[in-house]
Structure 1
Amino acid sequence: MVLEFEAVQKSFHDSDGLVPILRDVSFGLEAGQTLALTGESGSGKSTLLHIASGLEAPDAGHVRVCGQDLTTLDDRACAALRRSDIALVFQQFNLIPSLTVEANIAFQAALSGPPDKAHIAQLTAALGLAGQTRKYPEALSGGQQQRVAIARALAARPKLMLADEPTGNLDEGTADDVMAQMLKLVAQTGAALMIVTHSPAIAGRMDRQLHLSGGTLA
């Protein structure tokens, strides 16, 4: 099992007091599986994703990535796990504007060791970026920038890929193309993928779907 949630709870404080976000959430995700997490805005989908990556800690319960319980790790250990086993793709591309496409893709992989240049070349070719590697992000379209973000996430050969509305800023045609390429590459690497999405079409392309409502999964 690549990702396991066991009775996870999370609440936040607001002006009215304690507001439950996640209530005893439990599920698992195996290597090679794809999972869509759906739900209304504000239902806690992004919070769940952040907990899965170790960016936030649950109030109770256990979260395991590749057998390691994130609730027992400090911030430094969680950061190390993100460098080696977890990849993140967001709606905002978060590319480094001062780096070329090639350098942006290599950046994440370099955090955990020497980048695999052959693997990076394979990713750029598969994502239609082979002719764009010397350009800077500002010279790319939105779809191209998201492809760079996906290539960067996969460059370190992660075991778990977490994506938060990765095509939310793209038009429908570009989003379909980017999604198809991402799913193909994830399948080739054998990584597990969990994607937060509002799109029924994208959710329908995943192996499984979970809906978050009222802090619980259905």
Structure 2
Amino acid sequence: MLLEIRDLSKSYPGPEPDRPVQVLRGVSLSLDAGQTLALTGESGSGKSTLLHLVAGLDHADAGQILLDGREVTRMDDTGRAALRRGTVGVIFQQFNLIPSLDVAANIGFQARLAGRADPARVLALAGALGLGAHLHKYPEQLSGGQQQRVAIARALAARPRLILADEPTGNLDEATAAEVMAQLLALVSEEGAALMMVTHSERMATQLSRRLHLRQGQLEPGP
């Protein structure tokens, strides 16, 4: 088992100091290497919060996250940062590319931080995602679909065991979204990595091997 989440809870301060807003309520799930999982649910149901906790971008109130044999919920900031560099690749909805770096440098950025710089892999990922002719361009010179492809390539460059994707096609038109999704799934399968993806899209969710639905901070089988 690559990822195991046990009885995870998370709340945030509410309008009244003594009444926090409960976002996750005892969430448990597991994910094996090579599996793909879609997380669906209404806005505010806790999908992105769950992804951020697994990535070590936020702290849980209670429960455990075990990833590749290590307990994320007990790591300090340094440990969680190292996890994101080498074990977890995160694909954000807003791309989060570095404006001052060209496409090649953006793709290789996370791998360099992890001590896994590999120019050949950058070229291979760029080619697989249709970015071969854009390696020396900057993010502002790219379309939204191209920027999302760069974000996907960056997340995969360090060969992570787990990919976390937060609405990776949410800002794209339907045709571009379908193309980007197909490329993402093909690359994840080729690497033997696991994928956990937050999505509002019924069409995207059905392409993954498993599906769970968050409702009021609790998991249930996908509709």
Fold match, TM over 0.5? yes
In structure 1, what is the Cα distance between the partners aligned to 2:74 and 2:202? 36
Hey, what does 1:189 align to over in structure 2? Answer: 191
Q: How does 1:1-218 map to 2 (within 5 A)?
A: 1-16=1-16, 17-218=19-220
Paired with 2:93 and 2:7, the residues of 1 have a C-alpha distance of 28
Provide the aligned C-alpha RMSD in A.
0.8
Offset of 1:3 from its aligned partner? Answer: 1.2
Identity %: 60
**Cα offset, 1:137, TM superposition:** 0.9
Q: What is the letter of the counterpart of residue 12 of structure 1?
A: Y
CA distance in 2, matches of 1:108, 1:67: 22
Q: Tell me the TM-score normalized by structure 1.
A: 0.98
**One-letter amino acid matched to 1:15:** P
Deviation at 1:111, TM superposition (A): 0.3
1:12-53: CA deviation from partner (whole Å, max 9, x where unpaired)? 221141221111110001101000000000111110000010
Offset of 1:114 from its aligned partner?
Answer: 4.0
Letter in 1 for 2:11: S
2:202 alignment partner AA: P
Consecutive aligned runs of 4 or more in structure 1 exceeding 6 Å deviation? none
- How far has the Cα of 1:146 moved from its partner? 0.4
Distance in 2, matches of 1:179 and 1:114, equals 26
Give TM-score scaled by structure 2 length: 0.96
Quote the offset at 1:8 in angstroms. Answer: 0.7
Unaligned 5+ segments in structure 1 are none
SS of equivalent to 1:131: helix
Q: Which amino acid aligns with 2:132?
A: A
Instruction: Compute the displacement of 1:172 (Å).
Output: 0.4
Quick one: distance in 1 between partners of 2:145 and 2:50? 26
Instruction: Give the Cα separation in 2 of the matches to 1:149 and 1:111.
Output: 16
Contact 2:11 2:61 (C-alpha < 8 Å) held by counterparts: yes
SS in 2 for 1:170: coil
Distance 1:182 1:84 in 2: 19
Q: Is the 8 A contact 2:39 2:214 kept in 1?
A: yes
C-alpha contact 2:116 2:158 (8 A) present in aligned 1: no
